[in-house]
Amino acid sequence: MPDQDPLDSYSRTVISVTEAVLPSVASLAVRSARGNGAGSASVIGAGGIMLTSAHVVVGVDAATATFADGTEVEADVVGRDPLSDLAVLRARGPVPEPLRLGDASLLKVGQLVVALGNPHGLAGSVTAGIVSGLGRSLPTQAGRVIDEVIQTDAALNPGNSGGVLADGSGRMVGVNTAVAGVGLGLAVPINETTRSIIATLTERGRVRRAWLGIVGAQVALAPALAERIGSPTGLQVAGLAEDSPAAASGLHRGDIVVELDGNRVVNTTAVQKLMVEDAIDRPIEITVWRNGALVDVIVTPRELSLR
């Protein structure tokens, strides 16, 4: 038998991705009042723009980034968004070329992905696996949920946070953010929503969001209402935050939210997606199901404060 090629197609793909992506991935060292910490970051834009996880740079204004070729630069924290667990840094010196950004919405379950980062301080580490699931939800320390999270079985460990999840073409499709268990890693997707967040952080240093003050609960709907809104479940107002826009609007505990600003609402995630900067201080209409009838309520969201 002829000698078999020691590099099969899987290995070639992982090696190709590593060679393309790893030079632009840095080990990140941070120092804060809480002590020393470590994570990963990647170059994503001209002028030394870098991306990491927000929880990696909590309480710090700058970090030290070290690349695979030995390049070491200080990087200033431009902005953090705890609600998406993303943060943008700007390097003070020359850094490698930016990565190509992909679109996580095009991923398929079973697709090859490669994770690159700095687990346990082991710089330049590479693991490979598959997309194990899509559309997962990840609670953040800020109390909201990140949607459309990528689940992978590529090994992740502390220090991988902020690192790259790349597809087989070497495009960055996610930011590794959490280790949920053995063989279960999670990454914030690179998609239209997160690209907008990254751009806003780069330009303004923060992301403004609107706030209603609704405490929602997912409930099964009566057949008539389920047919009307096209969903077997809906969002019930389980509570109203004190002195909130929702409390002042006339919303009642027990109301079923049907529409918000002309958009169908079936869960809390749908509300969060609509609470963007444009909604701040703008009267919007909420349609609710109350006592067997549709009722319209006008509410004016305020800016969400994370302090």
Q: How much is the pTM?
A: 0.85
Domain 210-303 has CATH 2.30.42.10: yes
| pLDDT for res 230 | 80
Of the listed 161, 167, 244, 255, which one is catalytic?
161
Query: pLDDT below 50 — which residues of the chain?
Result: 1
Q: φ and ψ at 254, to 5 degrees?
A: 100, -15
Cα distance between residue 19 and residue 238, in whole Å: 51
Of the listed 55, 84, 125, 147, which one is catalytic?
55
Q: Which CATH number fits domain 20-91: 1.10.1040.10, 2.40.10.10, 1.10.10.10, 3.30.70.260?
A: 2.40.10.10
Of the listed 24, 40, 85, 167, which one is catalytic?
85
Q: How many helices (H) and strands (E) does the chain have?
A: 5, 20
55 catalytically annotated: yes
Closest Cα to residue 144, out of 81, 203, 58, 205? 81
Half-sphere exposure for 207 (CA within 13 Å, toward CB)? 23
Closest Cα to residue 273, out of 201, 206, 192? 192
Q: Given this chain, do its domains 20-91 and 104-204 carry the same CATH topology?
A: yes
Write down the domain spans for the chain: 20-91, 104-204, 210-303
Element housing 136 (H / E): strand 125-139
Give the torsion sign (CA, 50, 56, 61, 67): negative
| Fold designation for 104-204 | Thrombin, subunit H (2.40.10)
| pLDDT for res 68 | 92
| pLDDT for res 34 | 80
Q: How far is CA 198 from CA 44, 80, 84, 285, in A?
A: 10, 9, 10, 29
| pLDDT for res 1 | 44
CB distance 59 to 33 below 8 Å:
yes
85 catalytically annotated: yes
| pLDDT for res 7 | 67
Instruction: Give per-residue pLDDT as tens, 37-85.
Output: 899 999 999 999 999 999 999 999 999 999 999 999 999 999 999 989 9
